Structure 1
Amino acid sequence: MALHEFFSYGPQKDGANVNPMFRKTKDGRIFQWNVAKDDPLCTLKDAFVKVKSSQGFNIELKFDDNIVYGEEELRQTLENILKVVDEHAENRPIIFSSFHPDAAQLIRKLQISYPVFFLTNGGCEIYADVRRNSLDEAIKICKEGGLQGIVSEAKAILRTPNAITRVKDSKLSLISYGQLKYIDTNILLGLISLASSVLF
């Protein structure tokens, strides 16, 4: 998609809405993105310029789960992102993260200035790429690619709490995301104790 095409979607700076935006749910339903208030789309450069430089960024590298990307295609995309980071990030704290194993490993090869984390839901959903289906696979990806750590769905950590020890033994950092409605307090305290020297 060309930049002018990207900017034609959603609310425009003049208040118009040229091309509506849509969302696709995991079960395949598509619906129009309607929110009470939304800003026009922006580039990564715009975000760097408009957000105070003391604010850290987690730059998540998103790729379509249903497409197999070649290394050159990934490299071109990541090099374009790194060019913007090099020119506009200044001294901002930044981490890179991605659910795409090859993208996570390649961004690490292309730069050493910023930490790279592999995103995983740890088997809460199953993907054709087996490297995405468990915390043990996530550990393997990080060790093979020299990544700094894992960002895991919290449910996956609760399902396999002994993985925290394996993450720690691999000298990787561990961050969690997601919402849990019911957590056994004893399990949570045990996980916090196990993870205390892993989390940063």
Structure 2
Amino acid sequence: MEVTKDGCPIVFHDNFIYTEQDGKISGKRVTDLPLDEFLSYGPQKDQDKAFEGVDALVGFNVELKFDDDLDYQEEELAGVYFLTVGGTQIHADARRNSLEEAVRLCRAGGLQGIVSEARAVFRHPSAVARVKESDLSLLTYGQLNNVPEAVYMQHLMGVDGVIVDLVQEIAEAVSEFAAVVAPEPSPEEGQAGRLGPDRAAPAKKTPNFSQREISFLLRLIPELVQ
């Protein structure tokens, strides 16, 4: 989500929109265009048009774009997450360059949490605790989230949620990692279970990685922290 020069919210991912005329490709910054000109470049939509016809019960994950050439005022925004690359790339706006800066911005602006590039979480795992201590939620995105082992590791680290492309495949694979098999109850435990709800239930086993999965993670993590 971005805003045109005349203050109209639009649904567009990039900072620039590119057109071709007489064989030449030129780009214009979206925030420099009034709405009418922006809509003239093709099947673009403003915010209202994009939401028309969508069931009112459908939720939206709206990404508000930051333009490095513009200054933004921090305001109180409840229910909003701050998206950051967490230092995996460097931007002119320092608030986008680390998880620490993301925490500071969220606390100052009253945001609900952070959506970070997954690699940043692996490079700085201690940041997860700082996010939690600040009473913020932490989600991640990125290509690594299409790797089940990486998603499950984030679950163990305390990440609240992940944005993935292969939703069903990742959900099934992570469920297999997290599945625990309770031991068969002994006759005494079975009898205790019938005696009342105040008796302790059998403890679950700690989830374990297979040797193949451990080997994969040992190869994966050093690449992430470079």
Q: TM-score, normalised by structure 2?
A: 0.51
Which residue in the other structure is 2:118 paired with?
154
Counterpart contact for 1:148–1:173, Cα < 8 Å: yes
Return closer, same or farther for 1:131/1:64 CA change in 2, 3 Å cut-off: closer
1:122 to 86, 98, 107: 86
Deviations 1:90-148 (A, max 9, x none): xxxxxxxxxxxx45x3262xxx4xx1111100000112222221111111111111111
Counterpart contact for 2:87–2:96, Cα < 8 Å: yes
The alignment's C-alpha RMSD in Å is 2.6
Q: 2:65 aligns to what SS in structure 1? A: coil
Return closer, same or farther for 1:4/1:131 CA change in 2, 3 Å cut-off: closer
Where structure 1 has 5 or more consecutive residues not aligned to the other structure, the ranges are: 11-39, 70-101
Q: 2:132 aligns to what SS in structure 1? A: helix
CA distance in 1, matches of 2:131, 2:105: 12
Q: How does 1:29-178 map to 2 (within 5 A)?
A: 40-65=43-68, 67-69=69-71, 102=72, 105-106=74-75, 108=77, 112=78, 115-178=79-142
Q: 2:61 aligns to what SS in structure 1? A: strand
Which residue in the other structure is 2:34 paired with?
2
Deviations 1:134-181 (A, max 9, x none): 111111111111111001001111111111111111110011111128
Return closer, same or farther for 1:182/1:160 CA change in 2, 3 Å cut-off: farther
What is the aligned residue count? Answer: 130
Which residue in the other structure is 1:16 paired with?
none
Counterpart contact for 1:161–1:191, Cα < 8 Å: no
Return closer, same or farther for 1:6/1:166 CA change in 2, 3 Å cut-off: same
CA distance in 1, matches of 2:70, 2:60: 27
Alpha-carbon shift at residue 58 of structure 1 (Å): 2.1
Return closer, same or farther for 1:135/1:53 CA change in 2, 3 Å cut-off: same
Q: Which has the larger radius of gyration?
A: 2
CA distance in 2, matches of 1:123, 1:48: 33
Where structure 2 has 5 or more consecutive residues not aligned to the other structure, the ranges are: 1-32, 163-226
Q: Which letter does structure 2 place at the counterpart of 1:179?
A: Q
CA distance in 2, matches of 1:147, 1:179: 25
Return closer, same or farther for 1:41/1:164 CA change in 2, 3 Å cut-off: same
